[in-house]
A and B are shown apart, each in its own frame.
Chain A
Amino acid sequence: MSLLRAPQSRRSIATWYRSGGLSSIFFALPLVLIFLYFSWGPIVRGLVLSFQKNNLVAPPEWVGMANFSYVLTDPQLPQAALNTLYFAVLALIFGFPVPLFLAVFISELRKTGWLYNLVSYLPAVVPPVAAILLWTFFYDPSGSGVFNSILGWFGLGPFAWLNSQTLAMPAIVLEATWAGAGATSIIYLAALTGVRTELYEAAELDGAGIWSRVWHVTLPQIRGIILIMMLLQLIGTFQVFTEPFLFTGGGPNNATMTVLLLIYRYAFINGDFGAATALSVLLAGVLCALSVVYHFVTRRWSTS
């Protein structure tokens, strides 16, 4: 066998070289190097770091599960986890139906749809940080704040908004929905152009009203993209950082403290990189489990 194989392998090296095997290595080099340094490397390093004590100054030291037990017993973690969950649920309630409704509505407009599209996409163009700073001003708790003056015309308020423990999180979600709805509705709109319209004819002949046509004909046809957007939104909201960081910094009284803010605090304020990566690994584990569960649940839905 080996006698037979030897000349063949020599020939295959020659053909490999002649057919440009070397150049595939050159072409692959940027991808491999970039991923080694900035993707695969950091992921492996993150797993290693979570079992080490590391503050960038002293040499790293193995500590076993100490980081995990420190993170899991931190009294701030349950609060941060609950807040993150609360944010995700609120964002799903506010932020999920609005763009879907908008997209279905816009797709029905024959001549003016583009105008709605354009105007509703505007908030997504505003740089998120500028939007947050602007909304911080809108949420001014004094009676002369923008939202408080508007509500004052109807005899409501003034509300404390970001300074209130109960209102701070809904206020952040409201801004996030405002900023994100246009971009999401564009994606639904693109999916809606693929809906087969002859089914509407059939549904109408069967006496289905407008709402039931939307419910039984339109939505099932874009179910795939709806489920994916839902999952992407969940994964995104579980890693929310910029909004609570800039709006409230986690306050008032930790009411908007999220898991990612906690990670930031561990790493870049306390300088405890081990604890920060341990919490990142835990969060990543939860998110992976979530997408696996989601995958199996939705696969059953979409086949049935």
Chain B
Amino acid sequence: MSHERGIISTADRQRGLIRYGLLAIQVLIFIGVAIAGVGPLLWLLKSGVSTSQDILSGPMQLWPSGIQLKNIPDAWNRVQIGAYLGNTAFIAIGSMISTLFVCTTGAFVLSILRPKWGPVLTGAVLATLFLPGVISLVPLYMTVLDMPLLHISLQNTFWAVWLPSAAGAFNVLIMKRYFDSIPRELIEAARIDGASNLRLFTALILPLSKPIIGVVALLTVIGSWKDYLWPLLVLPDPRLQPISVALPRVQKTTEISLQMSALFLAVLIPVILFLLFQKQFLRGVGMAGGIKE
């Protein structure tokens, strides 16, 4: 990037007004971004180890009157943040697996095998893309309570979250588009070598599609991590709830210092994961945006 020019040219940068103006704007924006991005997290760190009294009476005091480190293990054990975070991870990973399974196999049929009825199926998947999610909220809930034909209830099982998340048209279609870009000669060559469809799928298509599989996996995990309403509806059992559903519920019954340490723990883990994998993460999210176009 450094050798390429941007909006502001090298000539511009040499002019005093722009140079110092730019520097000033840079500093100002950095302060703004830091206050917005890091400020709340630092505040949460401080409050997570403060007494309830301190949090309530002087939330903006720089130093709390006493540091109460035992809040953190208390929140982990008594509020069971660890268990809820575990549920969250379990739900996210399960959703990711089911989504990847459905959209890779589906895209393989639509893009590589191309049966006669393929275009009809593509059309039916595409059509759901234009319908907003709200239309199926209530009937989806009823479906999960009593699965048609099977007559079993998925409520209070993780399947109730894993399976519906796989029915995303966007994922199927971006996967199909990626498969479409794989050169047909490769596929023909594999066929001539006598590869079966299953072998074609596992040994050629999947390894070639790692980048898009990564993007879909990332998007699914982020989506499932952020979801609130759906797990609230289908997982009324507190032992199964992800952290997003559990936090507002436990908040009503715990004292403020424990609430803050619980929130701190809930925020800390994703932030650490993000900081560790920031490069891959930001690239993946940016790539997903490009696909929307």
Which residues of A164-193 have CB atoms within 8 Å of chain B's CB atoms?
Answer: 178, 182-183, 186-191
Task: Tell me whether B6 and A107 are in contact (CB under 8 A).
Answer: yes
If A23-B113, A35-B125, A144-B56 touch, whether A128 touches B106 (CB-CB below 8 Å) is no
Please report which residues of chain A, range 94-130, place their CB below 8 angstroms from some CB of chain B when the two chains form the complex.
102, 104-105, 107-113, 115-123, 125-130
Q: Is the CB of A127 within 8 A of B270?
A: yes
Q: Mark B2-13, 1 if CB is under 8 A from A, else 0.
A: 101111110110
Contact of B286 among A49, A190, A238 (CB under 8 A): A190
Per the CB 8 Å criterion, the residue count for chain B at the interface is 100
Q: Tell me if B233 is interfacial: C-beta within 8 Å of chain A.
A: yes
- Asked if residues A288 and B132 are in contact (CB atoms below 8 Å), the reply is yes
B247 touches A129 (CB 8 A): yes
> Is there contact, CB below 8 Å, between B106 and A130?
no
CB distance from A148 to the nearest CB of B (A): 9
Tell yes or no: A93 within 8 A of B by CB.
no
- From B98, B172, B263, A130 is in contact (CB under 8 Å) with B263
- Contact of B119 with A by CB under 8 A: no
The yes or no answer to B131 lying at the interface (CB within 8 A) is yes
Q: Does A127 contact B266, Cβ atoms closer than 8 Å? A: yes
Q: Does A201 contact B (CB under 8 A)?
A: yes
Of A35, A49, A107, A123, which one neighbours B167 at CB under 8 angstroms?
Answer: A35
* Cβ A30 vs Cβ B128 within 8 A: no
Pick the most buried of A37, A105, A191, A225: most chain B CB atoms within 10 A of its CB. A37
Q: Does A214 have its Cβ within 8 Å of any Cβ on chain B?
A: yes
A interface residues, tally (CB under 8 Å): 105
CB of A15, distance to nearest CB on chain B (Å):
12
Are B130 and A291 closer than 8 Å at their CB atoms? yes
Closest residue of chain A to B279 (Cβ to Cβ) is: A114
Number of A-B contacts (CB under 8 A): 286
Interface string of B270-293 (1 = CB under 8 A from A): 110011001000100111111011
Q: Is the CB of A200 within 8 A of B7?
A: yes
For the complex, is B198 an interface residue (Cβ under 8 Å from A)? Answer: yes
- A45-B143, A284-B134 as given contacts; A23 in contact with B197, CB under 8 Å: yes
B143–A144 touching, CB < 8 Å? no
Q: Is the CB of B138 within 8 A of A242?
A: no
Q: Is B186 an interface residue (CB 8 A)?
A: no
Judged by a CB distance under 8 angstroms, whether A38 is at the interface is yes
Chain B hits for A241, CB < 8 A = 228-229
User: Which of chain A's residues 1-38 have a Cβ closer than 8 Å to chain B?
Assistant: 20-21, 23-25, 27-32, 34-35, 37-38
Chain A residue nearest in CB terms to B2: A110
CB pair B139–A42 under 8 Å, yes or no, is: yes
Contact with A along B29-55 (1 / 0, CB 8 A): 110011011101101100000000000
Question: What mask results when residues 130 to 159 of chain B are scored 1 for a CB within 8 Å of chain A, else 0?
Answer: 111111111111110101100000000000
**By the criterion CB–CB under 8 Å, are A144 and B57 in contact?**
yes
A23–B113 Cα gap in the complex (Å)? 9
User: Taking the complex as formed, is B226 at the interface, i.e. its CB lies under 8 A from any CB of chain A?
Assistant: yes
On whether the beta carbons of B142 and A56 are closer than 8 Å, the reply is yes
How far apart are the CA atoms of A263 and B140 in the complex, in Å?
14
Does B105 contact A263, Cβ atoms closer than 8 Å?
Answer: no
> A122-B41, A127-B225 are contacts. A42–B140 as well, Cβ < 8 Å?
yes
> Could you tell me if A242 and B137 are in contact, using CB atoms closer than 8 angstroms?
no
Of B4, B11, B56, B290, the contact of A190 (CB 8 Å cutoff): B290
**1/0 per position for B186-197, CB-CB distance to A under 8 A?**
000000000011
Q: How far is the CA of A260 from the CA of B115 in the complex (A)?
A: 40
B248 close to A (CB within 8 Å): yes
* Chain B residue, CB-CB nearest to A37: B143
* Chain A residues, Cβ within 8 Å of B285: 183, 186-187
Asked if A276 lies at the interface with its beta carbon under 8 angstroms from chain B, I say: yes
Mark contacts of B75-115 with chain A using CB atoms, 8 A cut-off: 1 yes-contact digit, 0 otherwise: 00000000000000000000000100111011011000101
Whether a CB of chain A sits under 8 angstroms from the CB of B217 is no
A187 close to B33 (CB less than 8 A): no
Is the CB–CB distance between B105 and A204 below 8 Å? no
List the B side residues contacting A90 at CB < 8 Å.
none
Given A35-B128, A125-B274: A56 touches B121 (CB 8 Å cut-off): no
| A28 and B121 contact, CB distance less than 8 A | yes
Q: Which residues 165-184 in B have Cβ within 8 Å of A in the complex? A: 166-167, 169, 172
Q: Is the CB of B29 within 8 A of A149?
A: no
Is B140 within 8 A of A38, CB to CB? yes
Report the bound CA distance from A27 to B245 in whole Å: 35
Whether, in the assembled complex, A89 has its beta carbon less than 8 Å from a beta carbon of chain B, the answer is: no
Is B244 in contact with chain A by the CB < 8 A criterion? yes
Decide: A34 near B163, CB < 8 A? Known: A127-B267, A186-B289, A228-B293.
yes
Looking at the assembled complex, report how far the CB atom of A293 sits from the nearest CB atom of chain B, in whole angstroms.
13
Once the chains bind, are A182 and B37 in contact (CB under 8 Å)?
yes
Interface check B24, CB cutoff 8 A: no
- Chain A residue numbers with a CB within 8 Å of B18 are 210
> Is the CB–CB distance between A263 and B138 below 8 Å?
yes
Cβ B270 vs Cβ A20 within 8 A: no
Excluding A122-B41, A210-B12, 9 further A-B contacts by CB distance (< 8 Å) are A23-B198, A28-B121, A32-B121, A46-B139, A120-B33, A127-B266, A134-B40, A138-B40, A150-B60
Closest 10 CB pairs of A and B: A187-B289, A31-B106, A190-B286, A42-B136, A284-B135, A45-B139, A38-B167, A42-B139, A129-B244, A122-B37
A-B residue pairs in contact (CB < 8 Å), sample of 9: A40-B128, A43-B135, A122-B41, A125-B274, A138-B40, A144-B59, A146-B43, A187-B289, A280-B135
